[in-house]
Amino acid sequence: YSKYSNYIYQKNIENIMIYVLSVALLFGFAVTALPATPVSPLLERQACSPSSNIPAVSTTYLPDPFVFADGTRVTSVDQWSCRQQEILNAYQQYEFGDLPPAPSSLTASLSGNTLSITVSVSGKSSTFTASISGRSGSSAQPAIIAIGGYSIPIPSGVATITFNNDGFAQQNGGGSRGIGTFYDLHGNGHSAGALTAWAWGVSRIIDALEKLGSSATGIDTTRLGVTGCSRNGKGAFVVGALDKRIALTIPQESGAGGAACWRISDAEKALGKNIQTASQIVGENVWFSTRFNQWTSKTNTLPYDHHLLAGLIAPRGLYVPENVIDWLGPVSTTACMRAGRLIYKALGKQQNMGVSVAAAHNHCQFPSSQNSELTEFINYFLLKGSSAPQDLDKSAVSADVNKYINWSVPTLA
Ligand code: MCU
């Protein structure tokens, strides 16, 4: 018995020693295997932790871009980036629905001008395509991603990539919610409205281009623009806001849900204008999350407005061509985008955003009077010309931004 117990005792000691040794080894390994993470990004991440539950407010003024929901003021460019994350959270909470993260798997191939992208999300997989045109020459070119098509003149040297947004998320009246590739992947009850769904799809096009590389695609992904008109202009605006890889956003005649501010449009409606408002738009189509429905009759409670859609893009390139058609809300788009430009001003980059509300012309027929403005933006942001666009703030209607704001503009840069 004693021999046996001694044996067990010995074995126990051995086991304990093996255990201690392996823990020590594992620990040592783990310590040496730890990447030499620089402390600053970690601290930065800790420093920016915006709330994902932004409370409603009550103000007829466009909310102050430069104050966090907790009342802290934005005093630097870094803090602006953090405030942008908070604004993005608010947009998702009230209007867009959730923007899903990048998919777990993505494969891409290019055959002629057809880019095919297969994405998998939680075990579901789907393939969609985008068509590229206008590639020429041997070096990688900039490209403009066209949401459903484009109606601006695009110069040679700039390729176009057409995204079939309707196939990705339908926009065919109030009954078309939850249909298309996005909802096949994420479920037809997903909270994202069509604009957000499209933005997620365009991000996958950019992922695919990055993955294949510029020598295979002929596209330089550091010089991407996005455009679309009217409903697709709302889409272009949201794409630019949700993907920082877009260097130049050109939302054409986007009106309500794009360049117009909900509050100003409601005020204009109260003055008797035939203008599209939040209450009307949510019944017309499925551009937004159903989360937005409960706010449309009280837009003064939104903790953001669409000047902050421009703010999500700032200081990246943004050219906003609009039209004076009543339904688009020319006073609203003019004042709202002027408020957006104040954010660019605070960042010391006012010229990076141009507002141009042109005199009456057919909807989505880009007037030649705007050609030179567009050219300046494309030259600078996509063709890498050396001169920044001239300061651009033009409107065929008068709209005083100071009537709609009660905040001042800090100097952040
Ligand atoms: C300006 O964009 C929309 C507008 O929001 C809708 O109310 C209207 O039905 O269609 C416009 C549009 O997309 O025109 C092509």
> Is the C-beta atom of 259 inside 6 A of ligand 1?
no
Q: With 0-12 CB in 10 A as exposed, 13-18 as middle and 19+ as buried, what is 80?
A: buried
> How sure is the predictor about 127, in pLDDT bands with cuts at 50, 70 and 90?
very high
- Spatial distance between the Cα atoms of 317 and 310, rounded to a whole number of angstroms: 10
Cis omega (within 30 of 0) for bond into 55: no
Q: Between the CA of residue 217 and those of 126, 135, 268, what are the distances in Å? A: 22, 9, 47
Counting ligand 1 atoms within 8 A of each CB, the residue from 165, 176, 230, 357 with the most, and so the one to mutate, is 230
pLDDT above 80: residue 18: no
> Is the C-beta atom of 277 inside 6 A of ligand 1?
no
> Is the C-beta atom of 393 inside 6 A of ligand 1?
no
- Spatial distance between the Cα atoms of 163 and 177, rounded to a whole number of angstroms: 19
Counting ligand 1 atoms within 8 A of each CB, the residue from 231, 365, 366 with the most, and so the one to mutate, is 231
What distance, in Å, lies between the first and last C-alpha atoms of the chain?
Answer: 82
pLDDT above 80: residue 362: yes
> Is the C-beta atom of 326 inside 6 A of ligand 1?
no
For range 255-261, the mean pLDDT: 99
Q: What is the pLDDT of residue 32?
A: 38
Q: Between the CA of residue 12 and those of 7, 18, 21, 22, 94, what are the distances in Å? A: 8, 10, 14, 15, 62
Q: What is the pLDDT of residue 410?
A: 98
- Spatial distance between the Cα atoms of 352 and 179, rounded to a whole number of angstroms: 36
Contact at 8 Å (CB) between 226 and 145? yes
> How sure is the predictor about 1, in pLDDT bands with cuts at 50, 70 and 90?
very low
Over residues 133-176, the pLDDT tens digits come to 999 978 999 999 999 999 999 999 999 999 999 999 999 999 99
Structure token digits, residue 58: 């009550």
pLDDT above 70: residue 26: no
Over residues 168-204, the pLDDT tens digits come to 999 999 999 999 999 999 999 999 999 999 999 999 9
Q: How far is the CA of 66 from the centre of ligand 1 (A)?
A: 31
> Is the C-beta atom of 195 inside 6 A of ligand 1?
no
Nearest CA residue ID for atom 4, ligand 1:
231
Ligand 1 closest atom vs CA 232: 13
- Spatial distance between the Cα atoms of 215 and 136, rounded to a whole number of angstroms: 13
Q: How far is the CA of 19 from the centre of ligand 1 (A)?
A: 70
**pTM for the whole structure:** 0.90
Q: Is 403 left (phi over 0), alpha (psi -120 to 50) or beta?
A: alpha
Ligand 1 closest atom vs CA 255: 1
- Beta strand residue intervals within 98-190, DSSP E: 105-111, 114-121, 124-133, 141-147, 159-163
Q: How far is the CA of 255 from the centre of ligand 1 (A)?
A: 8
Counting ligand 1 atoms within 8 A of each CB, the residue from 151, 237, 276 with the most, and so the one to mutate, is 276
> How sure is the predictor about 318, in pLDDT bands with cuts at 50, 70 and 90?
very high
Q: Which of 87, 61, 59, 57 is nearest to 74 (CA)?
A: 87
- Spatial distance between the Cα atoms of 169 and 202, rounded to a whole number of angstroms: 12
Ligand 1 closest atom vs CA 234: 2
> How sure is the predictor about 47, in pLDDT bands with cuts at 50, 70 and 90?
confident
Structure token digits, residue 343: 């954010």
Q: Which of 47, 69, 65, 58 is nearest to 312 (CA)?
A: 65
For range 398-403, the mean pLDDT: 98
Q: What is the pLDDT of residue 302?
A: 99
> How sure is the predictor about 7, in pLDDT bands with cuts at 50, 70 and 90?
very low
> Is the C-beta atom of 231 inside 6 A of ligand 1?
yes
Torsion on CA atoms 169, 173, 174, 176, rounded to nearest 10: -40
> Is the C-beta atom of 276 inside 6 A of ligand 1?
yes
Tell me what ipTM this predicted complex has: 0.98
Single-letter amino acid code for the residue at 263: R
- Spatial distance between the Cα atoms of 374 and 359, rounded to a whole number of angstroms: 16
Tally of CA atoms within 13 A in the half-sphere of 59 that contains its CB: 15
- Beta strand residue intervals within 211-362, DSSP E: 219-229, 246-252, 317-323, 353-358
Across 19-28, 216-225, 269-278, least confident range? 19-28
For range 34-48, the mean pLDDT: 50
> Is the C-beta atom of 260 inside 6 A of ligand 1?
no
Q: Is 329 left (phi over 0), alpha (psi -120 to 50) or beta?
A: left
Tally of CA atoms within 13 A in the half-sphere of 262 that contains its CB: 27
